[in-house]
Amino acid sequence: MLDAIRLVFTGRTVHDKAARLPLGEILPVTIRAVALMVLLAFALLTLACDAPADAFATADAAPATTPAQPSTPIQTPDPTAAPKVSPAPTPDPIPTAPVALTPTAMPDATAMRTGGPTSSLDREVLVALYHATDGPNWNNSANWLSDAPLGDWSGVTTDRTGRVTRLALDDNQLIGELPAALGRLDRLVALWLSGNQLSGAIPPELGDLFRLRRLEVRFNRLSGAIPAALGQLVNLELLDFRGNQLRGPIPPELGRLSRLAGLVLRDNQLSGTIPPALGQLANLELLDLRGNLLDGLIPPELGRLSNLQELALFGNRLSGPIPPELGQLTELYGLDLGSNRLSGPIPPELGQLANLIRLNLRDNGFSGTLPPELGRLSSLVGLDLSDNQLSGAIPSELGRLADLDELWLSDNQLRGAIPSELGRLTNLTLLRLAGGNRFTECIPATLAELPRSDLEELSLPFCVVADPASAGGLRVAIATDRAALVALYRATDGPNWVHSTNWLSGAPLGEWTGVITDVSGRVTALALAENQLSGPVPRELGRLSSLRVLVLAGNRLHGPIPSDFGNLGRLVHLRLDRNHLSGSIPPELGRLSNLRSLELAYNQFTDCIPERLRDVPDSDLDKLGLPLCGER
């Protein structure tokens, strides 16, 4: 370098032997060279101070006053080498572009959206769920496993920091077991996984989701026990595991869920007793445990659930009486205790449930009389007490249930008259009274208008209407006709008739096969010859008061001719030939003053022919081989 300086200032070098200078000239030149070196060193120092930090290979570079050695090459940064100062961590394994490092570097927009290390853990949990439940075959998996923010993944909701708060994957074809890692989503407030094919046990780790408010995993294939750890979800408002294959007892720890409004565990295989601790759920509005294997008593502690609106325990193995304390549930609108093994009387305290809309106690072993207090349930729409052992009369107080739409009292041991007050139930559309009950007298006429009933099975007439020609009287008469036809169908194996179009349907009677009606809808003719009717002739046919033609020939009818046929005052033609009828020909047939045609041959009648029948103009009585009753 000194040679170069000399060359600049003198035009010679110290190695130029042909042009050596005298000593007197060398000294001034040397002084100038030293001064120049000092100036050059100062310039290099200034450049070093102004240079950016990343222009140097290391932080401990040689001082600027030290001349660089020509034999040592200058070190330059390797563009492929990792910087010595690590950037802020980003969610792994999402690749991110390199970030330029400066002393005051701020995170870019992507880093702010992903939320740092905690959202990275959320991503790991979602990835675990995806792989555990056959994610590639989900119905909708948009953006899953991509670089997109978690909030853009299908079914995922995040807060402003990128943390997962809601996970909604209902009906999405998830198949497999729930990973325990779900318990690490500590910002989760709602988990919806219903309508999939999830199997295996419920991870106890879900009990760590202390912010969770809604947990719905309905209609899957989950099995095993309900983890007691779920009792730690102090903010939970709805727990719904209906339609799975869960077994074992209901954990009493669920009684700690003080904010719970809905507990739905129906349609599983849960066993054991109902924990009395559930009576501590002061905010509970819905308790649905239907369709399990629960046994034991109904805890009276459930009467403390002052906010309960629906209690559904249908289809278990519960036994014992109904606790009277249930009468304290004044907010209750639905009480379903059907299909259990409950017994004892129906507590009159149930009459205090003023808001009750539906009461189902069917298919148990309740005994005693119907409490008249049930007539206080002014909001009641449906009352089902069928298939029990209730006795006594129907309380007339039930006629106060003005909103009642359905009343089921069938298959009990009720007796006495049907109270006329039931005829005041103008909103009633369904009435079931048959099957084991033994009612007497007549059926209130206004009940003849019901679209759905089993009144024809009671074998009782409708009560006489003051004005038979009135609209009400006509409806009663048509209902009576229908009941008689239904009785014939059921007594003679109707389902196996050759032709039975519209029978037992809601179609007008004139559209039933073999039935002819007049303009008012009354039955005037019934022709079912050779139609494979098999069985006895029902006495109810004697109530077809407008009947003019009855043809039942060529069937398999057996037994006697009902004496009630003597009430068919308008009958003109009667054909019962070619059956298997037996017994005496009832003398009541002699009262049929309008009868013009009578055929009874080819049966097995005995005794004699009523004398008054010999006046029928057209008959086959001579083929019977029987004498007239007055000639014996």
Summarize pLDDT for 48-85 with one digit per residue, the tens.
434 433 332 333 333 333 333 333 332 333 333 333 32
Q: Does residue 477 lie in a domain region?
A: no
Is the domain of 206 the same as that of 328? Answer: yes
For 477, residues 6+ apart whose C-beta sits below 8 A from its C-beta are: 468, 522, 545, 546
Q: Point out the domain boundary residue: 455, 477, 507.
A: 455
Element spanning 127, H or E: helix 117-132
Is the domain of 435 the same as that of 519? Answer: no
Is the domain of 328 the same as that of 223? Answer: yes
* Arithmetic mean of pLDDT, 228-234: 97
For 88, residues 6+ apart whose C-beta sits below 8 A from its C-beta are: 107, 111, 116
* pLDDT attached to residue 418: 95
* pLDDT attached to residue 629: 87
Strands 221-224, 197-200: pairing is parallel
Q: Point out the domain boundary residue: 455, 482, 503.
A: 455
Is the domain of 410 the same as that of 516? Answer: no
Q: Does residue 68 lie in a domain region?
A: no
* pLDDT attached to residue 23: 38
Is the domain of 271 the same as that of 390? Answer: yes
Res. 241: pLDDT tops 50: yes
Q: Which two tokens stand for residue 206?
A: 């879900």
- CATH code assigned at 386: 3.80.10.10
Q: Does residue 332 lie in a domain region?
A: yes
Is the domain of 176 the same as that of 317? Answer: yes
> Max alpha carbon distance in the chain (Å)?
189
Q: Does residue 272 lie in a domain region?
A: yes
The answer to whether residues 310 and 288 touch, using CB atoms and an 8 Å cutoff, is: yes
Tell me how far CA of residue 186 lies from CA of 114, 155, 210, in angstroms: 16, 17, 7
Supply the range of the domain harboring residue 568.
491-631
Half-sphere exposure of 420 (CA within 13 A, CB side): 7
Condensed to tens digits (0 to 9), the pLDDT of residues 302-314 reads: 999 999 999 999 9
Is the domain of 448 the same as that of 500? Answer: no
Is the domain of 182 the same as that of 315? Answer: yes
Is the domain of 422 the same as that of 523? Answer: no
Q: Point out the domain boundary residue: 38, 55, 72.
A: 55
Is the domain of 426 the same as that of 506? Answer: no
Condensed to tens digits (0 to 9), the pLDDT of residues 479-521 reads: 888 888 988 999 999 999 999 999 988 899 999 999 999 988 9
Sheet containing strand 556-559, strands side by side = 534-536, 556-559, 580-584, 604-606
Is the domain of 146 the same as that of 192? Answer: yes
Domain count, the chain: 3
Q: Does residue 237 lie in a domain region?
A: yes
* Arithmetic mean of pLDDT, 532-560: 94
Condensed to tens digits (0 to 9), the pLDDT of residues 354-402 reads: 999 999 999 999 999 999 999 999 999 999 999 999 999 999 999 999 9
Condensed to tens digits (0 to 9), the pLDDT of residues 196-221 reads: 999 999 999 999 999 999 999 999 99
Q: Does residue 461 lie in a domain region?
A: no
Condensed to tens digits (0 to 9), the pLDDT of residues 421-437 reads: 998 999 999 999 999 99
Is the domain of 357 the same as that of 265? Answer: yes
